[in-house]
Chains A and B, each alone.
Chain A
Amino acid sequence: QKEVEQDPGPLSVPEGAIVSLNCTYSNSAFQYFMWYRQYSRKGPELLMYTYSSGNKEDGRFTAQVDKSSKYISLFIRDSQPSDSATYLCAMSDSSASKIIFGSGTRLSIRP
C-alpha cells in the first residue's frame, strides 16, 4: 500500500464549478500537508501549505486536513481554464526532512 493515495483522474469540469481534489494517507506521523500545481511541461510549484488539521484559505483555494480520517482536500472555487493542471498532494512528518508526494490528479476546466 502506498503511503499517499491520489486519484489520477483525469477530472474534467465546466468553468465556474467547484472542484474537489483529495488524497488519503496511511502514516499518522504526517504533520505538514502541501498541494503543488504542475502545468504541462513545467515543474511543480507550491500552491498551499498547511500544518496539522484544519482549513486554510487563499483566494479561490481552500486546503482542508482531517487527520482523524487521514484525508486531505483541495477545493477550487469559481474554477478557471487557467486552473487546468496536475495537482499533487504532498506531506511530511514533524521533522520535515522528507516529502512524500501523491501521484497527482490531472484537472481540466472546460470553458
Chain B
Amino acid sequence: DVKVTQSSRYLVKRTGEKVFLECVQDMDHENMFWYRQDPGLGLRLIYFSYDVKMKEKGDIPEGYSVSREKKERFSLILESASTNQTSMYLCASALLNYNEQFFGPGTRLTVL
C-alpha cells in the first residue's frame, strides 16, 4: 500500500512566521502535489513536482514555495505566514497517472 505521511496533523503559527510542511511518500512515485482544502472551495492545487528539483505552479502559488531535494520528500514553505493561509493542507503523490493520487492525512494549519 502506498503511504503518504505528513509531518504534523495540527499546527498553530503566528503571523509572519516561516512555516515548513513536510510530506514523505514510500512508493517511489514521480509526482507529488500540495493542495489546500477550504470549505466550499474544495481542493486547490498550490504546487506540484514531477521529478526531483522540478516544480510547477498550481492554481494558487502566491505566498508559498516548495522544495523537492529527494524523490520521496516534498516540502511546502510559507515564507511569511498570514491569517488567510489558515487551512487544511493535503499532500498527494502519483506514479504516472495524475488522476490516481494518493493523499496524506492532512495538516490543519492555524495562523494567528
Contacts and interface: CB of A to CB of B under 8 A. Distances in A.
Interface of A: 4, 6, 8, 32, 34, 41-46, 49, 88, 90, 92, 96-99, 101-104
29 contacts: A6-B42, A8-B39, A34-B99, A41-B9, A41-B105, A42-B106, A43-B4, A43-B90, A43-B92, A43-B104, A43-B105, A44-B43, A44-B101, A44-B103, A45-B103, A46-B100, A49-B99, A49-B100, A88-B42, A90-B99, A96-B97, A96-B99, A98-B45, A99-B45, A99-B99, A99-B101, A101-B42, A101-B43, A104-B42
Interface of B: 4, 9, 39-43, 45, 90, 92, 97-106
Contacts, number: 53
A41 B99 CA distance: 22
A88 B43 contact: yes
Nearest to B92: A43
Nearest to B108: A41
Majority DSSP secondary structure for residues of B touching A: loop
A96 B98 contact: yes
Contact of A103 (B41, B99, B103): B41
Give the interface centre of B92, B98, B105 by most chain A CB atoms within 10 Å.
Answer: B98
A96 to B, nearest CB: 5
Given A42-B106, A43-B103, A43-B105, A98 B98 contact: yes
A4 B40 CA distance: 12
A104 B88 CA distance: 14
Contact of A92 (B40, B41, B98, B103): B98
A42 B99 contact: no
Contacts of B41: 103
A99 B98 CA distance: 7
Nearest to B103: A43
B51 to A, nearest CB: 14
Top 9 closest pairs, chain A to chain B, by CB: A43-B103, A103-B42, A101-B43, A101-B42, A44-B103, A32-B99, A96-B98, A96-B99, A43-B104
A102 B99 CA distance: 14
